[in-house]
Amino acid sequence: MEEQAKRKTVLSGIQPTSNLTLGNYLGALKNFVAMQQDFDSYYMVADMHAITVRQESARLRRRSIETLALFLACGIDPEKSTLFIQSHVPEHAMLTWVLSCNAYMGELNRMTQFKDKSARHADNINAGLFTYPVLMAADILLYQAHLIPVGADQKQHVELTRNLAERFNRAYGDTFVVPEPYIPKVGARIMSLQDPTSKMSKSDPNPNGFIAMLDDPDAIRRKLRRAVTDCEGCVTEDDSGRPGVYNLLTICSACSGSPVQEVSRELCGQGCGALKDRTADAVIAVLEPIQREYGRLLGDKQYLTDTLRQGAEKAGRTAQKTLRKVYHKVGFDSVKA
């Protein structure tokens, strides 16, 4: 019981919009799985965030379930973690409104992701794109999360969440835990195979730049064989200054569990081809069982439906507790009896 009381809460979310990559696995999902042992964890499929850009509804619905299945296939255990789809818990939208009334246009205007996205979707600069970080703050604050594992691109949104939490706590008295971004040390940065100075991204127009979690073994080998290294040609004792080679060493190390130094010691003097083959073996050994389990889960619709219903209920209980407090503090009648 004491133990339980001391456990910190982690929360993170992934949008269901496209194929997740090996970078998402090594930088996020793998850590989510490890963290569910030590933390009270909430993992969410962020479908409400997804509609800030135009989505085809049938596709979004399918992707949300597939993303949930992928979380499960990676080892998120719905008995240990709360795994749910954001739109199933209406409190996210409800808290977003209250927080919106405490967020300044100026601070939202400074969000670099809003600037990037509005440049990329110039024909659809909707208000949701602008208030997206407030929805994200609601996701986090509803569950009183302490630690938010996110990539560097989301750090600014967690900072905003902290500011909103502190501002609300000052105005209305202690209500929210003030969260911290949690950027894991290992594997957080897997780079593009074609441009190892930029992050591996699921939206890379060149599919050779990334390995999708659902790529088959042939595709994985082919993409790794084409990975950009450099003209030195072989692995040396310290390749930290060689982005292409170092990226492969990092991937190989993260997938095989041996430290980078060990992988480079073993391959020292051998050509980049050997490194690529070794990396492909390690990646396939990690992804194949996940893919098998993913396929099995997609065939078990009943289990998926039960899991997401149970997740929505569990998440809903925590979310309702927080929202009730918030509603009371701002002067609304309490939500439900």
Nearest-angstrom CA–CA distance, 301 and 266: 45
In the complex, what is the shortest distance from the CB of residue 60 to ligand TRP, in angstroms, rounded to a whole number? 15
Nearest-angstrom CA–CA distance, 286 and 47: 27
User: What residues numbered 47-66 form the site for ligand TRP, per CB under 6 A?
Assistant: 49
154 touching ligand TRP, by CB under 6 A: yes
164 touching ligand TRP, by CB under 6 A: no
Q: Which is nearer to ligand TRP, 129 or 150 (CB)?
A: 150
- Residues taking part in catalysis: 117, 199, 202
Tell me which residue has its CB nearest to ligand TRP: 13
Q: Binder to ligand TRP among 22, 73, 150, 220 (CB under 6 A)?
A: 150
| Span of 101-109, 147-155, 191-199, 212-220 interacting with ligand TRP by CB under 6 A | 147-155
Q: Which is nearer to ligand TRP, 198 or 261 (CB)?
A: 198
List all residues 6 or more positions away from 288 whose beta carbon is below 8 Å from its beta carbon.
217
146 touching ligand TRP, by CB under 6 A: no
CA-CA distances (angstroms) from residue 135 to 180, 263, 297? 17, 42, 30
Tokens 């309490």 label which residue? 334
181 touching ligand TRP, by CB under 6 A: no
Report whether 282 contacts 251 (CB < 8 A). Answer: yes
Q: Under DSSP, is residue 14 helix (H, G, I), strand (E, B) or coil?
A: strand
Query: Which residues on neighbouring strands pair with residue 191, listed in sequence order?
Result: 199
Nearest-angstrom CA–CA distance, 175 and 335: 16
H helices present in 202-271, as ranges: 217-225, 243-256, 260-267
| Span of 114-122, 135-143, 304-312, 325-333 interacting with ligand TRP by CB under 6 A | 135-143
Q: Which residues bind ligand TRP (CB under 6 A)?
A: 11-13, 15, 46, 49, 136, 139-140, 148, 150, 154
